[in-house]
Amino acid sequence: NHKFYGLMDMHAWKNMNQLALTWSTKPRKDLEIKTRVSKNYLMDSKDAWYGAGGGANTLAGGVFKDATGAAGKDLGMEWDLEATWVRNPKQTISAGIGLYQPGSFVKTLTGKNQAQFFGYLQYAAKF
């Protein structure tokens, strides 16, 4: 899912619109660097915000949903940076970081404006 909608897996392709800008480069044949920024919106402001697993994202006491639609559609922005190094044909090392800045929908339902961070480091070997 994060291949299409962001490293942090905050979204499913359900009740979502997304505007994304991506850029990748291969400064060397064994190294790829990708960046991505996306602005995310609810399609229907009266429906829930769904996560990568397909269920509604949860918050204390329930789910991210405003049946009145008054919280709006703005879910927020995600910023991602990934690097993949192919050490040899059987070994790959990848790392990535993500930042999620909540939009007005999230702020209205939680009363918070706190950004979330995510990071990973991965070693893959083929046998």
pTM above 0.75, yes or no: yes
Q: What average pLDDT does the segment 31-48 reach?
A: 97
HEC profile of 7-45: CCCCCCCCCEEEEEEEEEEEEECCEEEEEEEEEEEECCC
Per-residue pLDDT of 89-127, as tens digits, reads 999 999 999 999 999 999 999 998 899 999 999 999 999
Helices (H), 27-117: 104-110
The Cα–Cα gap between 21 and 41 comes to: 15
Per-residue pLDDT of 54-64, as tens digits, reads 899 998 889 99
